[in-house]
Amino acid sequence: MRLRSKRAWRAVRRAVFWGVLGLGLIGARPASAQDFSGKTLVVGVWGGDIERLIREHVVAALEKETGAKVELLLGGTGDRLAKIYAERTHPTMDVAFLNIYESPQALKDGVVDAPDPSAPYYKTIWPGMNNGCYAMSLNGLGIAYSKKLVTSPPEWADMWKPAYKGKIALPPYPGSEDDGVLAVAARLAGADEHSADKAFSKLAELKPIATTYTSLDQVFGLMGSGEVAMAPMIGGYAMAALKKDPDIGFVYPKSPGPVLVRDMLCLVHNSPNPELAKKFAALALGVELQTAYATELYFGPTNMNVKVPPAMANDVIASPEQVKSLLTLDWPYIITQRAAWTDRWNKEILGD
């Protein structure tokens, strides 16, 4: 009895020892096989609503899961590209959100990693969308219009009607909207974006451009006062804004269809925290954030598993048919023309 009890006591002591040790280890490294505490993931992204949604749906979860910190560097894609190009031998940024016209070039220049077809989040994205980087959101270039001046939803060709001469507004070049408009103009002239002369001469017929707009509020104000009839605009942004204003309409035209534009999520080549970056990509490309993008920003999800509420089906690009109707441009070609087209735009579209 005594001996047994002694042996039992020893067994209890051993159990307590290992139990305490185990609990201590669990306490130190909660719910994670790998320890990321002390690490900081640096993500370059746009400020505003996009930043807010990423903080709410990705940053909080990732920090909790890994113990790492996530730092969002806010700015435009020009800032991010300048940074990752300058630091390409010793990058400090792990993830960079870019535009569709920038990501193929970034991949070509070797500053970002090619999308990995074996990654689970690669497979949930609509086929053919991962150009250069992972497709983050789908958007279409359509036409915002003043319902006072344009009575029925316009087609691209309507922008060239004499009634609207001098009442078309465009954003500053270069940008995906203007590249898209050039491609549309080329198609209306019977060619495509590879025929810059036709694109520019067709677009130049719209001169004088009413204004080069730098904010949506600005162009909506001009539509309200009847000074601007139509402005090519990215659907998501337009849709979210014009729900507040009954006099402004937005349409995805049919001939040709809306130009497909995308935000891309890029993993920086040689980044300091590649594992964390992949975890960030998995969350960002996952159903939760993509759903928030769709319901709050009208940004089309790239994740095929996202269910868009039926009421929003017409406003958000989410179905295979919608994706198929979009006009996909030769972005890698367009980007090589950027410097030349910028000069032409300055002179031929804006100049006197």
Partner 1 sequence: MPLSRLLPIIPLAPACLLMGVMFLLPFGMVAVTAFWGQAPGSWLVDEAFTTRNFARILADPYFVLVIGRTLRIGVEAAVICLLLGLPVASVIVRARGQVRGLLLVLMLLPMVCGALVQTLGMLNLFGLAGVVNGALKQLGLIDRSIRFLGNETGVLLGLIQAFLPLMVLPLVTVLGRIPPDLPAAAASLGASRLRVLQRIMLPLAGPGIAAGAILVFSASVTSFVTPQILGQGHVQMFGPLVYQQAALVLDWPFASALCVVMLAALALAAALLAGVARLAARPRA
Point out which residues bind partner 1 (CB under 8 A).
76, 78-79, 81-82, 85, 88, 105-106, 108-109, 170, 172-175, 208-214, 218, 221-222, 224-225, 227-228, 336, 338-339, 342-343, 346-347, 350-351
Specify the amino acid at residue 111: V
Q: Measured from the CB atom, is 91 or 300 closer to partner 1?
A: 91
Q: Measured from the CB atom, is 41 or 185 closer to partner 1?
A: 185
Residue 49 CB, shortest distance to partner 1, in Å, is: 20
Residue 113 CB, shortest distance to partner 1, in Å, is: 16
Residue 179 CB, shortest distance to partner 1, in Å, is: 11
228 by DSSP, 3-state: which? coil
Compute the Cα dihedral for 149, 152, 326, 268 and give only its sign: positive
Cβ contacts of 62 within 8 Å, gap of 6 or more: 41, 68, 70, 276, 279, 280, 283
User: Count of alpha carbons within 13 Å of 278, Cβ hemisphere only?
Assistant: 13
Residue 148 CB, shortest distance to partner 1, in Å, is: 13
Specify the amino acid at residue 221: G
- DSSP code at position 205: T
Nearest residue to 85 (alpha-carbon basis) of 58, 108, 116: 108
Q: Measured from the CB atom, is 35 or 109 closer to partner 1?
A: 109
Instruction: Give the C-alpha separation, 212 to 228, whole Å.
Output: 11
Residue 108 CB, shortest distance to partner 1, in Å, is: 7
Q: Measured from the CB atom, is 62 or 133 closer to partner 1?
A: 133
Residue 230 CB, shortest distance to partner 1, in Å, is: 15
Q: How far is CA 309 from CA 24, 252, 295, 300, 316, in A?
A: 46, 19, 8, 12, 10
Residue 211 CB, shortest distance to partner 1, in Å, is: 4
Say if residues 301 and 294 touch (Cβ distance below 8 Å): yes
Q: What is the CA radius of gyration of the chain?
A: 25
Q: Measured from the CB atom, is 131 or 303 closer to partner 1?
A: 131
Compute the Cα dihedral for 182, 187, 189, 194 and give only its sign: positive
Instruction: Give the C-alpha separation, 339 to 344, whole Å.
Output: 9
Residue 270 CB, shortest distance to partner 1, in Å, is: 15
DSSP string, 49-115: HHHHHHIIIIIHHHHHHH--EEEEEES-HHHHHHHHHHTTTS----EEEEETTTHHHHHHTTSBPPP
Strand partners, 44: 73, 96
Cα angle: 108, vertex 112, 118; to 5 degrees: 100
Q: Measured from the CB atom, is 69 or 207 closer to partner 1?
A: 207
Residue 58 CB, shortest distance to partner 1, in Å, is: 26
Q: Measured from the CB atom, is 80 or 198 closer to partner 1?
A: 80
